[in-house]
Copies of this chain bind each other. A is one copy, B any other.
């Protein structure tokens, strides 16, 4: 790893954030090659410049930060990708392993943390915010429960989250209404849900993001 200033491109669909980040990096003397306001622009910037680091928002029009990371991996671009987002996205932790993600920071973090992150990543060391790590712990627990579900059970859980009744689910899956009930029962047992009347519906609603 050379000791020259790393080249960087950034992308964010929030003009204010983009400006803030851009100004900050320039002031700090980083080698900012360019910035994009959506996923397409970001992707083009990356394949044209092959920067050392790309700091990308997760949610952007046309292409998300994750999609960009995926494509970059598939075409063997060595750009280190740092995701930046407002939300503590729980699903992220797994994908971070699969893709060549090198960092994940929250927008509300201090500017110094960004500088810190860039330096760390430049040395080839992944950087994840502390708060993210906490989340990962929690999510891992919950996901362990989820993983014990069979495919059918997951499918039914999804449908429950979509406000379907047992009968609707049954006819949709061409199985008996009783079978659906049995699955429900098994799901409740596996997920250690309190045995209240609508507890499964409530659970499904609260965790419906994880069922996608």
Q: How many copies does the complex hold?
A: 2
Partner of A20, one of B16, B86, B114, B196: B16
Contacts of A205 in B (CB 8 A): 202, 205
Contacts of A110 in B (CB 8 A): 15
**Is there an interface contact between A202 and B14, defined as CB atoms closer than 8 Å?**
no
Interface residues on A, range: 20 to 34
Interface status of A165 (Cβ within 8 A of chain B): yes
**Is there an interface contact between A17 and B163, defined as CB atoms closer than 8 Å?**
no
Contacts of A21 in B (CB 8 A): 16, 20
Q: Scoring A residues 11 to 27 as 1 if CB is less than 8 Å from chain B, else 0, what string do you get?
A: 00111111111011000
Chain A, range 85-127, C-beta contacts under 8 Å to B: 86, 107-111, 114
Partner of A17, one of B20, B196, B202: B20
**Is there an interface contact between A202 and B163, defined as CB atoms closer than 8 Å?**
yes
Q: Which residue of B lies closest to A13 (CB)?
A: B108
Report the separation of the CA atoms of residues A109 and B19 in the bound assembly, to the nearest whole angstrom.
Answer: 13
Contacts of A196 in B (CB 8 A): 163, 165
**Is there an interface contact between B163 and A111, defined as CB atoms closer than 8 Å?**
no
Interface status of A144 (Cβ within 8 A of chain B): no
